[in-house]
Structure 1
Amino acid sequence: MSQPRPEYPRPDFVRPRWLNLNGWWDFAFDDENKGLGEGWFSRKSFPQKILTPFPFQSENSGIAETGFHDIFWYRTPIQIPPDWRKNGRIFLHIGALDYEGALFINGKEAGVHVGGYVPWSTDITDFLKGDEAEIVIRGVDSQSKSQPRGKQHWELKSSGIQYTRVSGIWQPVWLEPVPFCRIRSIRVIPALNPDRLIISAHIQGDLSHGRLAISISAQGKDIVKAEAPVENGVAKIEAAIPSARRWSPDDPFLYDLNFKLVSGEKVRDEVQSYAGISVIARDGRKILLNEKPIRLKGILDQGYFPGGIYTPSTDEEMRRDVELTRQLGFNCARKHQKLEDPRWYYWCDRLGLLVWGEMSSAWEFTNQSCAALAKEWQQAMQRDWNHPCIMAWVPLNESWGVPDVANNSMQQNFTARMAQLTRSLDPTRPVVDNSGWCHVDTDIVDIHPYTGDPVELAAMIEQMLRTGEPGHSYPAPVWVGGAKDGGQPIVVSEYGGIALDADVEPEKGNEGGWGYGHAAQTPEDLLRRFAELTKAIIQNKEVAGYVYTQLTDVEQEKNGLLKFDRQPKAPIEAIAAAQKD
């Protein structure tokens, strides 16, 4: 394989100069935890080779080792372009490393990181000697249920709804030179009437009489130019867009943004981004996109890829998944238990796919799990909140990490606080506090009724609308802690999950694959049952939307509309036609 993932990794915050570090690195397991004591951070080689950014459990990594190895090391030499150090600093960026990391540059510790799904950036300038350097990374990933891990199993083999683990680097690694005075971050909030972008930029470094200049263009034509002074490290601009073209799945129109940090007549830093006019609101049981009701036609997408587990082999694989989702007739994806690679969200922005952004769960309720979840969730939101495709935030799912939330006031308080924290960071999007059941403080009421009977599904929805609960057969109460239905939008955010009989072998147990309920006998039977269940939801006009389980098969879970290699199990156009209102 040539150098993996050559495209720029951070598409909503682009600088012109960067160096891709994906490729073959030295690698070693440290099962006896002796690397620190023996000074592995200064070693000139390790015994194995790994293809980054693929996790060592994956086939694409060149190692494909799925056993327990809690500690592991990476090493690579780098050559820094000679002009990079003249007028600024040099940062090493790692898109994601699961779960803990320590970075060493030329044998010296340069930074540490905790969190398996969020970016890690380190200023390595002061550790460099000339234009050559040695990067060494020590990674740690345990089987702890207190760390946010999503569907990564803490047991040796995949089973049930738990899959192969992902350890270490699993998103791109790159170097970037930045000026001494630079744009550190940008927040873009779209608003309506008048249609505008509310922009705040945080500036790093001493800058006298500095200002931020923004140019907004569309299809190569300038639309708006504006400036604002930098005051106390922040510049704020509210840019009205005349005759704005609003973003939607049917018309995913994006504006190009150019930001320049200026002092006098000198441009100190320049960043490219983009934005869409996409505003989500609620009106009783309805969800509104840009003031118009929209019914969500969603698919559960767990983001697993052939050969790479969490890591797609190419950017085209992510684009293909979004394109297939749209071709199947869906306008929304619930990215389930995974904070996806930023370029997947980029393709959702470009191709018109709404997204529920969901945090990867811990699996027990401890002080450590609560602190880890809250910290990483804030970082995840800050990474993704500029994407116009994001329409809702989901900090918890099915009480994972809060297993006694139905009766435990501490777990109810934590759930409510996660919802409140989410709103405090982003008051512009609805929050689903605990997807599926045991809602404490939610803006959308969602349920997961896995019945194979469309008549029963319709009856459960009707009872939910009348009483706030879908009936005795539902696995948990919808409302807990004194919360009750307040007329919010209702979304059936998981249902279906039907396997094909040819894909499962029940006599082999877990290894034989599974779906919910009994398997469909033929592709025609699968399509018929998908259509009947979906119609049971669509026919109720008070339901704001649905999310079918799921887009693709994942390991032993054989209930995708597509096989794991993305081949459809039924005609794509027929699946889309079955969702017509």
Structure 2
Amino acid sequence: MMRMFECKCFAVLVLSIIFCCTVQAQMKPNWKMQPVPVQTRWAKEVFPTNVLPEYPRPQLIRKDNWQNLNGLWDYTITDTSASVPSDYQGQILVPFSLESALSGVQKPLLPSQNLWYRRSFIKPKLKRGQKILLNFGAVDWQATVFVNGKEVGKHTGGYTAFSFDITDMLQLENNELVVKVFDPTDAGFNPHGKQTLYPANIYYTAISGIWQTVWLETVSASRIVDLGIKTNIENGTVMCNINSEMLDSNIQMEVTISTERKILNRTIGKYKDLFSLKIPNVRLWSPEDPFLYDLSVKLLKKGKVVDEVNSYFGMRKVDIQKDSKGIDRIFLNNRPYFNLGTLDQGYWPEGLYTAPTDAALKFDIEVIKAMGFNTIRKHIKVEPARWYYYADKIGVLVWQDFVNPPPSLPDNSKNEFEKESKEIMDQLDNYTCITTWVLFNERWGSYDQKRLTEWVKKRDPSRIVNGHTGELLYINNQLRSPSDSPYVSSDITDLHSYPYPMMAVKHVGKAMVCGEFGGVGVSVPGHQWTDLQGWGYIQVKPKELEIKYKFMIDTLSKLREEGLSASIYTEPFDVEGEENGLLTYDREIVKIPIEKIQRIHNPLIQSNKLSLLYSNSLIVKNIDLNDTDDQYKQFLALYESGKRDSIFLRRLTLMAFRLKDQKCLTKIGKSYIDKLTCLYTKENLFFISNITRTTDDEGFRIFQSNPEKINKILGRNEAENMVKSIISNEYIEPFLHIGGSSPNWDKMATLLKSKYGVIGSEKVFGTAMIYYLDRKDWNSFGKYYSLYYKTALSRSEYHINNISWLLFQNVNSPEDLEMGCQTMKYSIEHFDQLNFNAYDTYANLLYKLGKREAAIEWEERAKEMAPTYHNVIENLKKMKEGINTWK
């Protein structure tokens, strides 16, 4: 999905309809769920004493030998240079991330900070030769683990499980477990998906720390580590590769396949890597019949069980074949199978990456299938093991995205991406539901596509590889991202088309799919993350959605006849500021009745069996088609007759805002603000900033008068940015239209400084800087760059490194270059400590000023951070040789 615009708010968006009034779970006096604008029905079932109690690893079960460590842990946040703390600032509910409401904390973790966890546990009783493993489902991003003050190991990667043998570090009774977490989110080189420190549409609240179950496991010294299961439906065999820790060569392995407690095949042999078992009368797995076989593996010594694990598998095959008309299609079990999918992001209002309960996790798959979808594209996130278990058991195909690397970063980001992608493939390899690996999404962080696509195909030939979903991206039939070789080495030709689906490009041997379409936004009052205008590629009224959706699916039916093999609709659920889901974010309201969605889908998938899951467990309400802004006149009449309660005023304010009735917005907005008893909260200030449009609005006065207080709540410069935006709209934009070819910027700056202080003149100088940048008048650009940054160093509205690089390349004035040096030095000290590009810009500015030794010193620092980056290497070489680094 393409990023459309950025939100102004730095922090986690937490908006509630009735502010200062929180709906909290009454669990324990030292923990409570933090307020969120909406929450799912399962949030109230979360208790510190019973958090996600289900066995976390359904494909490798030792059910009687584990201890769940979920629950209340101590936590604290320090800077990254701090050692193991002795004092902790509060408690956090594991496994909910620091930023989530269910954690009880709901704070962001900055790139300059570490998050620390601590808890104690009793050493489990051990028999001779047994070991204790400490298991983590997932920790985002880098975890360092200590037991009783000793480091036991470190793991990087926010989406995969890891374990440590802690047996030798345990004491007889109480033991202390400490976990240190570093997570730079989108400021580092780590894969981070759609998380961002600055939430915006299609980018969401970051998560940091432990976000899946933590547990202890008692195992034998000789034990099964994991299984590799590959099926062959042609000859009805299962290949089982057993990875084990084996301390005794006399131990045998026993592999048993059964169904409904009836043994179908069993083999016993000495220690070896691979077992092959035949299955009689094979029953194939599919979304219409998600049949699973039980698998048991034992280690035996003299007939006694040393270790035993239970697992399962499904018999299915997926590949690309030609149909009876010679069209390349996706085949399931040697039959053409249209993958009717939806783009599931796996976010929850109260838990973010973590579902509040196991039932909630299961619900998402059930309701998606109940709507008639047979495929889920798991979008740039890896779920807990139990999600894939339910996908296997309920029966949906899964297209699994890799977690994209950040763009424009040095080789360590690529190395980390490939390491983590390998771990993801290894961890998810046995799940029957996963039929397709999705390498890159819309070029986000993409590189070496041919090599990596072929690497994935070679590593797992049993699945389809979609190497580059959405490399061709169409918005309203206009191509936004042309590409010379968009489908190199892929099994699929895949384009994204918003809002309406399109046919993909035809290539011999590749199936054609529409990897994303839809994005139709529908707001549902009372069920929104933010009741300000939600986002969708198009925004429609509730009555229009069913008509548009049916048209899209009818279009897919026609494209299917022409050769389309799959489609992915955006999306099943609203996510934070996005309102393009078929259900609301809280999973309470469905925007088209489920029965109607089923009927719309049935002609396309030609199967009625997928709808059988619609039951009492999937209680959702249908949308009220009349609850829209069409009621504005009636609401205004109620206002004039004296209705003034907070909920009503807020709704009416938003109606006036959306309908652009500025006169009423100013009046009603002030009425709403006057009703607020706690004005200076993140939620209220964020709302006020968004409804403030003119200098006459009450919000302008509040933000202009109290910038320091507001910035402490909303984030750096948020108050000034809002004030500048309104000044620009009211004064500078009209001035540009009447100013002709040579606007008198200095006169305008003097006027606005007299009205609004330095903020006024600063906005003028910044606008003038961009004005002359667009016209390539470099002397004037340099002049206004200097005037702007004399006051705007700490509150720049522009990307300092990018704008300063243009200064270096095009301006020769020593005074302006000196200002550029001061600006870049400030930026490095305060914002860009980890950005080698900023070091490079600063070094080049110094060099152009004739400060060669200092320039070489800073360029060498840039090279240390990015040792293989070509431009830095070349610039350093030129500096040492005394050659200009600018044209």
Q: Same fold (TM over 0.5)?
A: yes
Q: Name the structure 2 match of 1:440.
A: 488
Paired position in structure 2 for 1:535: 554
Mapped contact 2:92–2:98 kept (Cα < 8 A): yes
- Matched-pair contact (CA < 8 Å) for 1:502–1:521: no
Q: Deviations over 1:514-548 (max 9, x none)?
A: 1012x1212x3111111111211121221001110
State whether residues 504 and 558 of structure 1, in contact with CA within 8 Å, keep that contact through their aligned partners in structure 2: no
Using the size of structure 2 for normalisation, the TM-score is 0.58
2:349 and 2:165 map into 1 onto residues whose CA distance is: 34
Q: Which residue of 2 aligns with 1:276?
A: 314
CA contact (8 A) 1:77 1:133 kept: yes
**CA spacing shift, 1:426–1:544, aligned 2, 3 Å:** same
- The change in CA–CA distance for 1:501 and 1:20 in structure 2 (over 3 A counts) is closer
**Residue in 2 that maps onto 1:513:** 534
1:362 corresponds in structure 2 to 405
Deviation at 1:425, TM superposition (A): 2.1
2:290 counterpart residue number:
252
Matched, 1:28 2:76: yes
2:522 aligned partner: 500
Partner of 1:78: 121
| Residue 99 of structure 1: aligned partner | 141
- 1:379 Cα shift? 0.7
In the aligned structure 1, how far is the partner of 2:530 from the partner of 2:133?
49
- CA distances 1:335-387 after superposition (whole Å, capped 9, x unpaired): 00100111110000010011011111122143011111110111111111111
Residue 793 (structure 2) aligns with: none
Higher strand share: 1
Is 2:268 aligned against 1:227? yes
Task: Find 1:137's aligned residue among 179, 188, 202.
Answer: 179
1:488 maps to which of 490, 493, 510:
510
2: CA distance between counterparts of 1:81 and 1:188? 32
What letter is aligned with 2:57? R
Shift of 1:580: 2.2
Q: Is the 8 A contact 1:337 1:359 kept in 2?
A: yes
**2:411 aligned with 1:373, yes or no?**
no
Moved more, 63-72 or 381-390: 63-72
The partner residue of 2:394 within 348, 351, 355 is: 351
Structure 1 residues 81 and 451: CA distance shift in structure 2, 3 A: closer
Q: Would you say the 8 A contact 2:524–2:584 is kept in 1? A: no
Q: 1:94-139 CA deviation, whole Å, 9 max, x = no partner?
A: 1000000110000000000100001121111111122431000000
Distance 1:444 1:504 in 2: 41
Q: Is the 8 A contact 2:530 2:577 kept in 1?
A: no
Unmatched runs of 5 consecutive residues or more in structure 1: 403-410, 469-484
Q: CA deviation at 1:513?
A: 1.7
Distance 2:534 2:188 in 1: 25
Amino acid at match of 1:521: K
Which of the residues 449, 455, 458 maps onto 1:421? Answer: 455
1:147-296 correspondence to structure 2 within 5 Å: 147-153=190-196, 155-156=197-198, 158-231=199-272, 234=273, 236-284=274-322, 285-296=328-339
Partners of 1:227 and 1:237 within 8 A in 2:
no
TM normalised by structure 1 equals 0.88
What is the one-letter code of the residue matched to 1:68?
A: L
CA distance in 2, matches of 1:360, 1:436: 15
Give distance in 2, aligned partners of 1:217 and 1:493: 38
- Give distance in 2, aligned partners of 1:278 and 1:129: 48
TM-superposed CA distance for 1:502, in Å, is: 5.0
Single out whichever of 339-348 and 282-291 deviates more from structure 2.
282-291
CA contact (8 A) 2:320 2:329 kept: yes
Distance apart, 1:34 and its partner CA? 4.5
- Distance in 2 (alpha carbons) for counterparts of 1:67 and 1:416: 36
Matched with 1:109 is: 151
**Matched residues in 1 for 2:136 and 2:582: separation?**
33
Q: Is the alpha carbon distance of 1:511 and 1:97 closer, same or farther for their aligned partners in structure 2, counting shifts above 3 Å?
A: farther
Equivalent residue number for residue 479 of structure 1: none
Q: Following the alignment from structure 1 to structure 2, what is the Cα–Cα distance between the partners of residues 91 and 35?
A: 28
Three-state SS of the structure 2 residue aligned to 1:110 is strand
Higher relative contact order (CA 8 A, sep 6+): 1
1:68–1:145 Cα change, 3 Å: closer
Query: Is the Cα–Cα contact under 8 Å of residues 499 and 519 in structure 2 kept in the other structure?
Result: no
Who is 2:53 aligned against? 6
Contact 2:109 2:115 (8 Å CA) reproduced = no
Answer whether contact 1:504 1:512 (CA < 8 A) is retained. no
Counterpart position of 2:464: 430
- 1:12-91 equivalence runs, <5 A: 12-16=59-63, 17-30=65-78, 32-36=79-83, 39-40=84-85, 43=86, 46-66=88-108, 68=110, 70-82=113-125, 84=126, 86-91=128-133
Q: Residues of 1 paired with 2:54 and 2:153: CA distance?
A: 26
Do the aligned residues in 2 keep the contact of 1:369 with 1:401 (CA within 8 Å)? no
Q: Tell me: CA distance 1:543–1:504, structure 2 relative to 1, closer, same or farther (3 Å).
A: farther
Q: Is the 8 A contact 1:145 1:364 kept in 2?
A: no
| Worse-matched range after superposition: 164-173 or 1-10 | 1-10
Q: Structure 1: which amino acid aligns with 2:548?
A: R
Deviations along 1:125-183, whole A, 9 cap, x unmatched? 11112243100000000143521000001x43x11211000100000000001111111
- Hey, what does 1:474 align to over in structure 2? none
Query: What corresponds to 1:449 in structure 2?
Result: 497
In 2, the alpha carbon distance for the partners of 1:502 and 1:164 equals: 21
| Secondary structure at the counterpart of residue 555 of structure 2 | helix
8 Å CA contact 1:504–1:514 kept in 2: the answer is no
Amino acid at match of 2:440: L
CA offset at residue 67 of structure 1? 5.8
State the secondary structure of the residue aligned to 1:531. helix
Distance 2:206 2:168 in 1: 35
Q: 1:61 to 1:501 in 2, by over 3 A?
A: closer
Alignment match, 2:595? 573
Task: Please report how far the alpha carbon of residue 85 of structure 1 lies from its aligned counterpart in structure 2 after TM superposition.
Answer: 5.3
Q: Secondary structure at the residue paired with 2:312?
A: strand
Structure 1 residue 185 displacement after superposition: 1.3
Q: Equivalent residue of 2:205, what SS?
A: coil
1:545 aligns with 2:583: no
1:342 paired to 2:363: no
Q: Cα gap change, 1:81/1:502 in structure 2, threshold over 3 Å: closer, same or farther?
A: closer
- Give 1:503 deviation, angstroms: 6.0
Alignment match, 1:121: 163
Q: Secondary structure at the match of 1:579?
A: helix
* Gapped regions of structure 2 (runs ≥ 5): 1-46, 323-327, 472-485, 604-887
Contact 2:80 2:114 (C-alpha < 8 Å) held by counterparts: yes
Cα distance in structure 1, aligned partners of 2:366 and 2:349: 17
Corresponding residue of 2:710: none
Which structure carries more helix by proportion?
2
Q: 1-side partners of 2:313 and 2:287: how far apart?
A: 14
Q: Which residue of 1 aligns with 2:781?
A: none
Task: Identify the residue that residue 406 of structure 1 maps to in structure 2.
Answer: none
RMSD, aligned α-carbons = 2.0
Per-residue deviation, 1:81: 2.1
- 1:395-447 per-residue CA deviation (whole Å, 9 max, x = no partner) reads 22111112xxxxxxxx3xx2222212212221100111121123322011111
Offset at 1:24?
0.1
Partner SS for 1:486 = coil
CA distance in 2, matches of 1:34, 1:545: 50
CA distance in 2: counterparts of 1:371 and 1:511, whole angstroms: 40
Structure 1 or 2, whichever has the larger Rg, is: 2
Cα shift at 1:267: 1.8
Displacement after TM superposition at 1:272 (Å): 0.5
Preserved contact between residue 467 and residue 487 of structure 2 (Cα < 8 Å): yes
